[in-house]
């Protein structure tokens, strides 16, 4: 199932901490694929994302290094809390290695052919790791849809747990390479559960769809934007926080919004709802995220809000109303929905 995805197009550097666990020196920059933004990772910086405990993780991302370095550097690390389980590394021969850390000892598990990573252009990397404390783990790496290596029957956990729950993208290297940057775009993270999105998705694009009109229900009040058009208070890029927003303290209130056209993709493998939200009173406030076809509604269990803005996300592998795979008309005719649960 889809756990998370990011286009890096709907927020700026100042808002990154609302969506990620740790942000240290990275930024949102121009230069993404298809003219959008990207995640810029300069030398000795990193960004981490917390995830559910996952026995298997599949991570895909477009990767563009500005230069190949004379020494190795990790790109993607898998953690159990603060304990490193494994790492994908860009080596000095323009190849990709995978290391595990059984007993705390760095162990090279797999290495690719040399020269497979190109400079100044995006290539789509996907890695699947089955975490195991015994010799039953596995690692598979793909690039641009083709297999790079598969290793099975190995120990892939350095802790006593058969899972990871944090991923970190980083560029950590000693030396004078101040201009070197790793650029990332079109990120997805899946686990191995469920009947869809439980394996490699291929070279996917993560597209931003903003609210472009009020939906069939608008119970929330608004601040800022155009009076009587709630969507104009929630479609800013980047978010403008308390300058414009919608609000309600009434459990059961719903606000829905139509979405900009998705265009004509070959397929829609998943949809993620994102809301930047906070509470401004002393009560427990739970906000539900969901989807509507204009008649029926489907919401998640909701997230408990804090007094600080956070970006809450809800991925849907399939249309939650029909339980069928997403179609273009689902999005073009559907509505994003939020609900005050408590």
Using DSSP's 3-state secondary structure scheme, residue 178 falls into coil
How many separate domains does the chain show? 2
pLDDT at residue 255 greater than cutoff 90: yes
206 within domain boundaries: no
279 within domain boundaries: yes
Residues 222 and 289 in one domain: yes
pLDDT of residue 176: 61
Residues 253 and 327 in one domain: yes
In tens, the pLDDT along 259-288 reads 999 999 999 999 999 999 999 999 999 999
Residues 6+ positions from 323 with CB-CB distance below 8 Å: none
How far is 10 from 14, CA to CA, in rounded Å? 12
227 within domain boundaries: yes
CATH label of the domain that carries residue 117: 2.60.120.200
- Which tokens in the block code for residue 122? 């995006």
Residues 182 and 321 in one domain: no
202 within domain boundaries: no
At residue 178 the predicted structure's pLDDT band, cuts being 50, 70 and 90, is low
Region 14-18: mean pLDDT is: 98
How far is 123 from 146, CA to CA, in rounded Å? 11
Residues 217 and 127 in one domain: no
Q: Which domain holds residue 222?
A: 211-340
Region 240-256: mean pLDDT is: 98
How far is 266 from 35, CA to CA, in rounded Å? 19
205 within domain boundaries: no
Region 7-34: mean pLDDT is: 97
Specify the length of the chain in residues.
342
pLDDT at residue 326 greater than cutoff 70: yes
* Nearest alpha carbon to residue 41 among 76, 17, 7: 76
At residue 50 the predicted structure's pLDDT band, cuts being 50, 70 and 90, is very high
Residues 170 and 218 in one domain: no
pLDDT of residue 175: 62
Mean pLDDT of the chain: 96
In tens, the pLDDT along 287-297 reads 999 999 999 99
pTM value is 0.96
How far is 302 from 177, CA to CA, in rounded Å? 44
pLDDT at residue 102 greater than cutoff 90: no
pLDDT of residue 20: 98
CATH label of the domain that carries residue 276: 2.60.120
247 within domain boundaries: yes
At residue 32 the predicted structure's pLDDT band, cuts being 50, 70 and 90, is very high
Tell me which H or E stretch contains 218: strand 211-218
pLDDT of residue 218: 97
At residue 322 the predicted structure's pLDDT band, cuts being 50, 70 and 90, is very high
Helical H segments across the chain, by residue range: 328-333
162, 191, 220: which is the final residue of a domain?
191
């Amino acid at each position: 199932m889809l756990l998370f995805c990011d286009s890096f197009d709907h927020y700026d550097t100042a808002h990154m901490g609302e969506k990620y666990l740790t942000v240290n020196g990275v930024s949102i920059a121009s230069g993404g694929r298809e003219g959008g933004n990207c995640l810029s990772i300069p030398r000795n910086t990193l960004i981490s994302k917390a995830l559910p405990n996952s026995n298997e993780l599949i991570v895909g991302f477009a990767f563009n290094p500005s230069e190949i370095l004379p020494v190795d550097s990790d790109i993607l690390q898998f953690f159990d809390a603060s304990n490193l389980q494994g790492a994908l590394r860009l080596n000095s021969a323009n190849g990709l290695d995978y290391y595990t850390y059984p007993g705390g000892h760095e162990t090279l598990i797999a290495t690719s052919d040399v020269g497979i990573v190109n400079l100044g252009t995006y290539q789509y990397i996907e890695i699947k790791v089955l975490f195991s404390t015994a010799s039953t783990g596995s690692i598979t790496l793909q690039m641009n849809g083709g297999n790079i290596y598969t290793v099975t029957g190995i120990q892939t956990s350095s802790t006593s747990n058969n899972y990871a729950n944090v991923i970190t993208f980083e560029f950590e290297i000693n030396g004078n390479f101040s201009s070197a940057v790793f650029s990332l775009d079109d990120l997805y993270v899946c686990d191995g559960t469920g009947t869809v999105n439980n394996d490699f998705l291929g070279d996917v694009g993560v597209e931003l769809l903003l609210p472009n009109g009020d939906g069939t229900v608008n119970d929330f009040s608004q601040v800022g934007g155009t009076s009587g058009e709630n969507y104009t208070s929630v479609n800013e890029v980047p978010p403008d926080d308390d300058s414009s927003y919608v609000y309600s303290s009434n459990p059961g209130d719903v606000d829905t919004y139509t979405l900009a056209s998705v265009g004509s993709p070959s397929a829609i493998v998943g949809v993620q709802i994102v809301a930047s939200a906070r509470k401004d009173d002393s009560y427990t406030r739970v906000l539900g995220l969901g989807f509507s076809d204009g008649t029926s509604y489907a919401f998640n269990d909701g997230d408990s809000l804090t007094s600080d803005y956070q970006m809450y996300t809800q991925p849907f592998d399939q249309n939650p109303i029909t339980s069928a795979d997403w179609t273009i008309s689902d999005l073009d005719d559907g509505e994003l929905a939020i609900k005050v649960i408590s």
